Amino acid sequence: MITEKGQSIEDKSMEIIENEIGSHSYSSDEWTIVKRVIHSTADFDFARDNKIVFHKDAIRNGIEALNNACAIVVDVNGVIGGFNKDNLKKFGNKVICNISEPNVISEAKNLNKTRAQISMRMASNDMNGGIIVIGNAPTALLEVIQMIKDNVAVPSLVIGIPVGFVCASESKEELRSFNIPYITNLGRKGGSPCASAIINALYILLKGRLSS
C-alpha cells in the first residue's frame, strides 16, 4: 500500500514525464503503460528510440486475462519483485517462476540449453490463457515463440522485453513479426523493471474499467 508521501512523489514523477515527453502518438491506454515503464527506469528512450510496441489486441487481452485470475509466467525472480502484490492478491493471479528449480538446472545442463528455456517449457500448462512476462532472458522469449508455433502453449498475452546484447533485439523482432498479442520494444534495452511496470500498468487499466 503506497503512503501519502509516496503517492505525492509518484504524482510529481508522472508530471515530469508528461512535461518532458510532450506530444506523442500513443493511445491513452498505451500511454499509461509507456509512462509506467519510463517511471520505473527513468529512461525516456522507451517512448522514443526504443519505442514500446503494442499488438492491437494486447491491452484488451491482458486486462481480460488478469480479471479472469490468469497465471503469470515470468522468466526471472527479479520480475516478481516489481509486481504490486496487492493487485496479485485482489485478482487471484498466481505467479510462476521456475528458473531456480533444481530439475531445471540439471535438465539445462543435460540438453545444453539455458535455464530460461527449460523453465518456460516446464510452465507450458500455466501459459494457456495466461500472461507470459519476460524481462531478462532473450532465450526464454525465443522458446516461448517456438512453443506457440508448435501449439504447446496458447497465452493471452506475451510481454517480451528482455535486455541484452545477444539475441535481445532479434527475439523482440521475431515476436513483433508473429501474430499473437504482445507488448515489446525496439532494440537492446529492456529488463525486469520494465516487465513489472507493464503488468502494474495493466492492473491500473483493469481497475479503471471496473470502477467506471
Domain boundaries, the chain: 27-211
Q: Does residue 202 carry a pLDDT above 70?
A: yes
Q: Is the pLDDT of residue 26 over 90?
A: yes
What is the grid cell recorded at 164? 541484452
pLDDT band at 10 (very low <50, low <70, confident <90, very high): confident
Q: Is 29:205 a contact under the CB 8 Å cutoff?
A: yes
Number of C-alpha atoms within 13 angstroms, CB side, residue 56?
2
Quick one: average pLDDT of 60-87?
96
Q: How confident is the model at residue 203 (pLDDT cuts 50, 70, 90)?
A: very high
Contact 63, 210 (CB under 8 A): no
How far is residue 15 from each of residues 36, 154, 205, measured CA to CA in Å? 12, 38, 18
Confidence tier at 121 by pLDDT (50, 70, 90): very high
Q: Is 24 a catalytic residue?
A: no
Please state which of the ranges 8-22, 83-97, 154-168 shows the lowest mean pLDDT: 8-22
Encode 151-170: b = buried (16+ Cβ within 10 Å), e = exposed. Answer: ebbebbbbbbbbbbeebbbe
Give the helix ranges, DSSP H, for 52-123: 58-67, 77-81, 85-91, 102-111, 115-122
What's residue 15's pLDDT?
85
Residue 66: the pLDDT is 98
Beta strands in the chain (DSSP E): 52-54, 72-74, 95-96, 131-134, 157-160, 182-185
Task: Report pLDDT digits (tens) over 129-185.
Answer: 999 999 999 999 999 999 999 999 999 999 999 999 989 999 999 999 988 999 999
Residue range 27-211 forms a domain whose CATH class is: alpha beta
- The pTM of the full predicted model, rounded to 2 decimals, is 0.93
Question: Which pLDDT belongs to residue 194?
Answer: 96
Separation between Cα atoms, residue 83 and residue 93, nearest integer Å: 11
| DSSP secondary structure letter of residue 43 | -
Q: How confident is the model at residue 3 (pLDDT cuts 50, 70, 90)?
A: low
| Average of per-residue pLDDT values in the chain | 92
Number of alpha carbons in the 13 Å side-chain half-sphere of residue 54: 21
Active site residue: 39, 55, 115, 172, which one?
39
Three-state SS at 21: helix
Distance of CA 211 to the CA centre of its chain: 24
> Band of the pLDDT at 21, cuts 50, 70, 90?
confident
Question: Is 132 in a helix, a strand, or coil?
Answer: strand
For 203, the grid coordinates are: 492492473
